Structure 1
Amino acid sequence: MTHRDLPTSSTASQTAISVLTALLEARTGQQIAAYRSWRLDTALKPLLRARKLDTLDQLVTQLLQGSDRQIGDSIVDALVNQETSFFRDALVFEMLAEAVTDVEQDGRRARIWCAGCSTGQEPLSLAMQFAERRETSGASMPEIVATDVSDAAIVRARSGRFSQFEIQRGLPVRRMIRWFDTTGTDWVAKPELLALVTYRRMNLVSDQPPPGQFDIVLCRNVLLYLSTNTKGQVFPKIAAALKPGGMLVMGAGETVIGQTRVFEPSKRFRGFYETPIEARS
């Protein structure tokens, strides 16, 4: 991707746009398409206010001076797309329950990795689903590990704190009351729910996956922001993190077809992907 075709933002020179988009891509592998360059202004306005700056050019000047080590992290945290909600694509969670049951038939405890967990709604949805299953059937809890490239997102995820708007996106009242307490206008996940998820910061492109191998990796609506070459690095890394027969779950608008040969559509679960049989050891 080149940046010279990006339209100029209202508060940024072409040079500032190039620096900011290059920083995001270098740190996370994510790209900002030309038609979405308006996100620079929108996403960075709070950071400009916090630093008492008027323009993105001033922000870039501070970045390039190199005297503030946190400014790069702050910029990346602001630009990373954190769109998420509880039980997003409900059918996926139904199939995940079936997939976990299949794993447990071998007498094993399932391991799930949420890669690109944002502020925690996805892993907490899994935790609620399987904790409720445990209450009704006595089935064991899968191990849930959640990672994200953004330090700020991980801090928020660990806090389990959500606004009224966030909590209502995907959660019925019964689950809000069962698993969350109110604090002012916010809703905070109960300690017993938070304890079911292990969070850690991780860059999918440059860092190693969490220790051990997983039965299921959820990487939904993350890879679509990466370049083709970067996806070529990430797919094999995810495949190596899966146990033989393990599955990758991507977003509704994503596919591995034409993207990689290390995964193929699952014959067991529609919309899931697994490594080819000949590639399994």
Structure 2
Amino acid sequence: MNTIGLDFDDVRAAVSMQDAIVAVRQAFLDLAAGHFEQPVRTAMRDGQFLIMSTHHRPSATAMVKTLSVDFTRVPAIAGTVTWAETRQGTLVADAAAVTGLRTGAVSGVATDLLAPADADTMAIIGAGGQAPDQVRAVHAVRPLRGLSIMDRDRSRAAALADLLRSELPQVEIDVADGVDTAVRRADIVTCATPATEPVLASEMLRPRVHINAIGAFRPTMRELPDDLLGEATVVIDDLAAILEESGEILHALDSGALTEDDLIVLGDALTHAPERRERTVFKTVGVAAQDWAIARLLAAKFLPAGAPA
């Protein structure tokens, strides 16, 4: 049996965002079909250490991700993604690279499903490690004309703007001084922050807008206010994970702004497109099937006989 090790650059060179979006979309369809055995992830020290695992029954493959999260360091995520299957061996990949790809990819899947077909302007709140892939994924499904970046650390927002200008020269990119300035003309808004209080207010936003909320992943974290969730079509990655970990959804349920019946699971929405209100929200805390999808692409490239079908 072989064990292949892949660092950050290996992962990024091997998997394009377009391929990641296709793979993650199929993983959510498989998740909805019951093809995954997937426990809710283990969180220790209030989310500073996370363990995620899943088994894909049809392919007899499994994935385990172990990581630490520290927003005071760069990169904030450090750890490993381990792919295992019964015949060809094991693959171990950098968790930061896989996490960026899979979190971007699921936002791409949700944006393609929920954002208006003519959406071409985006705002991103938070310019940390997840932000570049969020923009790349949205651009892959809704080619952007304009992008506004806002971060409390203006130098970090400026650095992200410089990076993305080199990759997306056709997109007009600016650094905003505040959240309201960033989002006022955006068709698509992504929140990628570790906030514990909402960073958006309903009145800041255009009447028709799609929002990806990807930063908050613990009950103590919250990026969106109750009234915004209450007026929107709300799609989530996984009900069990959301009810365990999503601070904004739990808060909205407690306040009565939402009921569990209002929550639409992404895999189901991909099969039966939901009725969309003017405002749509995709809330993700991240599930192991996403990491499995990226690891499967890596296994197909690097293990001797590739990943099983």
Answer yes or no: same fold by TM over 0.5. Answer: no
Give the TM-score, by structure 2 length. Answer: 0.37
Higher normalized strand content (fraction of residues): 2
Higher normalized helix content (fraction of residues): 1
Give the TM-score, by structure 1 length. Answer: 0.40
